[in-house]
Amino acid sequence: MPSQKRVMWKSFIVGCFKDNPFSNSSLDETHTSSVSKKTLSRRISLSDLSNSSSQSIMSDLSNSLTGIGSNIHIFTYQELKEITHGFSKNNFLGEGGFGKVYKGFIDEKFKPRLVPQVVAVKALNLDGKQGHREWLAEVIFLGQLKHRNLVNLIGYCCEDEHRLLVYEYMERGNLEEKLFKENAGYLATLPWLTRIKIAIGAAKGLCFLHEEEKPVIYRDVKASNILLDADYNAKLSDFGLAIDGPGEDQTHVTTRVMGTRGYAAPEYIMTGIYVSYLFV
């Protein structure tokens, strides 16, 4: 299993951890803490931020993460506009609850230490139901957790009101398109062995999240959030609703009900109590 990576947050904190007038939801109240069994340093979480002032957040993150390398890149809004050709309609890939997604092209001259590649750029819709909290959750979780069955976060943009995320590009799109979209042409051509491969990949991603010493509750397992690469390897995406799971001395956590009805477990919908087996 690949080792976990951690983010250098100093340049990120000043503009992104203070209150945001356009944020559509607040930090979850769930609070757990533990030391990651995969690394020597404690994983930063949303619960850490919900109980601290901006100044103490900066100090805590600085002290905890200074000196730890990262492969997360910080982009300017202009840079992301450039690689998507001005967020061109020709580069438009789709739209979800967070906002629109565009295809981008990074060449060898674009940014030092950044491998030339095709990327997916997701831009927060400021008039949508999601906001700064969901963007922050994606950066915190995917900026630290690395696994072959989690989508790779390459970088982010936090500039003025703009909140964007840059991911690896997934050639096959999402599973929902392959299973349900009308006229997609995949209903008869997605073999059962491929379907099983996808299911196992998604399960491995969830298993990785559950087996963290500080478990992660994903809260949004559905076909549209399972992305597929060229070889139909499955990767979980969209961590905007994710929160920290129960600690060592807890059996569950209680949260306000989030997720997609029809996919979320009825026990969770009725009680707001989440335990790991409700993911499956």
Q: Which residue has the tokens 């909140």?
A: 163
Question: If pLDDT is split at 50, 70 and 90, which confidence band does 41 have?
Answer: very low
Please count the other Cβ atoms lying within 10 Å of the Cβ belonging to residue 14. 11
- CATH assignment of 10-168, among 3.30.200.20, 3.40.190.10, 3.40.50.300, 3.20.20.70: 3.30.200.20
Residue 165's pLDDT is what? 96
Question: If pLDDT is split at 50, 70 and 90, which confidence band does 221 have?
Answer: confident
122 labeled part of a ligand binding site: yes
| Mean pLDDT of the 90-100 span | 92
What is the pTM for the complete model shown?
A: 0.74
* pLDDT tens digits along 101-134: 999 999 888 887 889 999 999 999 988 778 888 8
Between 98 and 214, the higher pLDDT residue:
98
CA distances from 25 to 29, 107, 133, 136 (A): 12, 36, 6, 11
Least confident of 18-27, 89-98, 206-215: 18-27
Query: CA quadruple 236, 238, 239, 245: dihedral positive or negative?
Result: negative
| Mean pLDDT of the 209-227 span | 86
* pLDDT tens digits along 166-202: 999 999 999 998 888 755 554 557 899 999 999 999 9
Between 128 and 160, the higher pLDDT residue:
160
Question: If pLDDT is split at 50, 70 and 90, which confidence band does 262 have?
Answer: low
**Catalytic residue annotation:** 220
Please tell me the distance from the alpha carbon of residue 79 to that of residue 237, in angstroms, as a whole number.
23
Question: If pLDDT is split at 50, 70 and 90, which confidence band does 277 have?
Answer: low
User: What is the CATH number that goes with domain 175-279?
Assistant: 1.10.510.10
Residue 47's pLDDT is what? 62
Backbone angles phi, psi at 10, to 5 degrees: -55, -50
Question: If pLDDT is split at 50, 70 and 90, which confidence band does 40 have?
Answer: very low
Residue 21's pLDDT is what? 38
Where do the structural domains in the chain lie, given as residue ranges?
A: 10-168, 175-279
The average confidence (pLDDT) of the chain is: 74
CA contacts within 13 A on the Cβ side of 24: 16
Is-contact 224 182, C-beta < 8 A? no
Least confident of 4-8, 67-71, 169-173: 4-8
